Amino acid sequence: GIQVEQSPPDLILQEGANSTLRCNFSDSVNNLQWFHQNPWGQLINLFYIPSGTKQNGRLSATTVATERYSLLYISSSQTTDSGVYFCAVESGSNDYKLSFGAGTTVTVRA
């Protein structure tokens, strides 16, 4: 099956700093989503971004499908940004089966 690799595994930031999280995948994808998992386990949709660039407030994401990677940018980080960020891809045609990376744990310190 498709392999999803996220880096770095852990990231410690000072409040106000910017950061970039990376997701590499081993095959072409029809769907790529970024999620933020809060301390209670809830996976919160950040972006649906199989290609191109999107922005939502302090977060933005870029997926270069031809080179099989996606980037998530966090600007002016806040303590509420702490948590685990997952990249998940769907390689089949509209099969709604997501393969997840291992996640990046982000800790933002005040």
Partner 1 sequence: DAGVTQSPTHLIKTRGQQVTLRCSPKSGHDTVSWYQQALGQGPQFIFQYYEEEERQRGNFPDRFSGHQFPNYSSELNVNALLLGDSALYLCAAASWGGPDTQYFGPGTRLTVL
Residues that bind partner 1 (CB under 8 A): 4, 30-31, 33, 35, 40-43, 45, 48, 50, 86, 88, 90, 94-103
C-alpha angle 12/83/68, rounded to 5°?
85
Q: Which two tokens stand for residue 17?
A: 């700093």
Question: Is 102 strand, coil or helix?
Answer: coil
Nearest one of 35, 43, 20, 19 to 109, comparing CA atoms: 19
- Nearest distance, CB of residue 76 and partner 1, angstroms: 25
Q: Least distance from C-beta 78 to partner 1, angstroms?
A: 21
Q: Of 39 and 57, which CB lies nearer to partner 1 in the complex structure?
A: 39
Amino acid at 85: Y
Residue 6 Cβ, how far from partner 1 at the closest point, in Å?
A: 8
Q: CB nearer to partner 1: give 15 or 95.
A: 95
